[in-house]
Amino acid sequence: MPASLKLFVVTLLLALAPSLSHANEAVVRKAVQSLIGPNDRIESIRRSGALDFYEVQVNGELLYVDAKGRYALLGSILDIQSQRNLTQERKAVLSRINFSELPLHLAAKQVRGKGRRVLATFEDPNCSYCRKLALELEKLDDVTVYTFLLPILSDDSAEKSRAIWCAKDRGRAWRDWIIDGRLPPNGRCDAPIDKLQALGRKYNITGTPNIFFSDGNRLGGYAPVAQLEAALRQASQAKR
């Protein structure tokens, strides 16, 4: 093949590459949407670095789809050589938030010591693991804890959340309930339950507790104090 023709072919392929990529993304999107149904939202599609598949994020979960939209893989991709879970690492990146965008005025606030370190939790009043987490949070010092009441687990979760929100000291009311089981009288104020539930949906929170640190990293579920301390240290280092 003459050099001029080779150059023409290479140039043509480079020019077509973006349109072919977009075409494949459209095929993948259509295939996945037919698989998950109209009420679930595809959050992102990108070419996966591992395998020759597309990575598709749906409701905070990942699946891998071939370019023709025929085959889908569910589960984790493991790098055997480095012994890394690539899917979990990618999920951790995707689940990060901009902590400064959290509407902290919608949270119950507790300050221990000087409160220089900061974390936020999403918790349901009927969550047993939230009770375990509260005991671990009690062991932390120099921390401010913002608790977003997220009633998603039981029929009376919203009622209990409203009672805590309407208390004079919300942070104290939350602690009294989650640790000591003492609930304040039924709330008679305009509690922002709908806003809190919408916030939970925004961050794909389907279970409690969920913990966010000032660097945007998330821990899903109960965590012991050693893990909390490590995450707080990492968040503090990220600010420097």
Give dist(CA 89, CA 59) in Å, integer.
17
The answer on 151 and 75 residing in a single domain is: no
Predicted pLDDT at 10: 32
Domain CATH for 72: 3.10.450.70
Predicted pLDDT at 21: 47
The answer on 235 and 143 residing in a single domain is: yes
Predicted pLDDT at 223: 95
Domain limit, last residue, from 55, 79, 94: 94
The answer on 140 and 34 residing in a single domain is: no
Give dist(CA 122, CA 151) in Å, integer.
9
The answer on 107 and 86 residing in a single domain is: no
The answer on 70 and 119 residing in a single domain is: no
Domain limit, last residue, from 94, 115, 139: 94
The answer on 182 and 231 residing in a single domain is: yes
* Rg of the chain taking only CA atoms, in angstroms: 23
Predicted pLDDT at 5: 38
Structural domain harbouring 176 = 99-239
Please enumerate in sequence order all residues whose Cβ is within 8 A of that of 13, keeping only pairs 6 or more positions apart, or say none: none
Domain count for the chain: 2
pLDDT along the chain (240 residues), means of 10: 41 38 77 82 83 85 89 89 90 90 97 96 97 97 97 94 95 97 88 96 93 95 96 86
The answer on 125 and 73 residing in a single domain is: no
The answer on 232 and 126 residing in a single domain is: yes
Three-class SS state of 43: strand
Domain CATH for 214: 3.40.30.10
DSSP code at position 61: E
In the Cβ-directed half-sphere of 105, how many Cα atoms lie within 13 Å?
Answer: 2
Predicted pLDDT at 4: 46
Domain limit, last residue, from 44, 77, 94: 94
In the Cβ-directed half-sphere of 235, how many Cα atoms lie within 13 Å?
Answer: 25
Predicted pLDDT at 240: 62
Please enumerate in sequence order all residues whose Cβ is within 8 A of that of 101, keeping only pairs 6 or more positions apart, or say none: none
The answer on 53 and 137 residing in a single domain is: no
Q: Assign residue 97 a region (left: φ > 0; alpha: ψ between -120 and 50; beta: otherwise).
A: beta
The answer on 48 and 33 residing in a single domain is: yes
